[in-house]
Amino acid sequence: MTELLYFSSDQLTVDATIQACVAVQNGYEVTLNRTVFHSQGGGQPSDVGHMGAARVTKVVERNGTLVHCIDARLEIGVVGLQVDKDARLLHSRLHTAGHLIGHAVAPLGFIATRAHHWPGEARVDVSPTAMGGACLSVNELQSRVDALIAQDLPRILRLHEGFREIGFGELPAFPCGGTHVISTGMVGSCVIDDIGKNGNGFRIRYAVI
Ligand SMILES: [Zn+2]
């Protein structure tokens, strides 16, 4: 079992122990005792970066095991890990913006049901709640998201018994395993690109710039 340091920490470097390094078709797959790399999942791409002299191109969970895909063979033993900070920041801004869109639509009678926070294709799907949201305008949503960013609400991280909840300021917290910026102001600028009909709700496409 790999200890997931990103669950409770924003650190981007750590020394870890390589437990296995297996040759595969396009490189090598490594398992570690602990990691600072966020794996692909929860609508978020994996971190990239370096493991010793090797490049970490992807991290995925496979059958309960965290697999780090690297481009060079490494020996069993201790190795330094380094997450690419620019990619992590972009992913965290996109993911946090997704949370804010979910918070922004709640008073309008919608709940976020699915989210995909990949660069260039970020979107949040929302459905009407019992309050019965009927329409959703780009301008209304944009101003609500802008307001949440302007308030620069601090991230609140709570861990209990292996579960993790993420909230911002006094907004309701939700279980989440992704990476987030430390306050909503760090999202920077979130642009609502488009709101399209999606089943009985809407698909909101957005970007951070
Ligand atoms: Zn999250």
pLDDT at 148: 98
pLDDT at 46: 97
- Rounded distance from Cα 177 to ligand 1 centre (Å): 6
Considering the chain, tell me which residue range(s) the CATH 3.30.980.10 domain(s) occupy: 87-208
Which residues are near ligand 1, the ion (C-beta closer than 5 Å)? 176, 178
Whole-number average pLDDT of the chain: 95
- Rounded distance from Cα 20 to ligand 1 centre (Å): 30
Residue 160 has pLDDT above 90, yes or no: no
Fold topology of 3-83: Elongation Factor Tu (Ef-tu); domain 3 (2.40.30)
- β-bridge partners, 190: 208
Cβ atoms of residues 182 and 131 within 8 Å: no
Fold topology of 87-208: Threonyl-tRNA Synthetase; Chain A, domain 2 (3.30.980)
pLDDT at 134: 77
Under the banding of pLDDT at 50, 70 and 90, the label for residue 135 is: confident
- Could you read off the pLDDT of 1-38 as tens digits, one per residue? 899 999 999 999 999 999 999 999 999 999 999 999 99
- Rounded distance from Cα 96 to ligand 1 centre (Å): 6
- Rounded distance from Cα 99 to ligand 1 centre (Å): 6
Q: How confident is the model over 164-181, as a mean pLDDT?
A: 95
- Could you read off the pLDDT of 32-83 as tens digits, one per residue? 999 999 999 989 999 999 999 999 999 999 998 999 999 999 999 999 999 9
Beta strands of the chain (E only): which ranges? 3-4, 13-24, 27-32, 34-35, 49-51, 54-62, 65-70, 77-83, 110-116, 123-128, 155-160, 163-168, 174-175, 190-198, 201-208
Residue 34's H or E segment, with its range, is strand 34-35
Considering the chain, tell me which residue range(s) the CATH 2.40.30.130 domain(s) occupy: 3-83
- Rounded distance from Cα 176 to ligand 1 centre (Å): 5
pLDDT at 108: 92
pLDDT at 131: 76
- Rounded distance from Cα 43 to ligand 1 centre (Å): 9
- Could you read off the pLDDT of 179-206 as tens digits, one per residue? 999 999 999 999 999 999 999 899 999 9
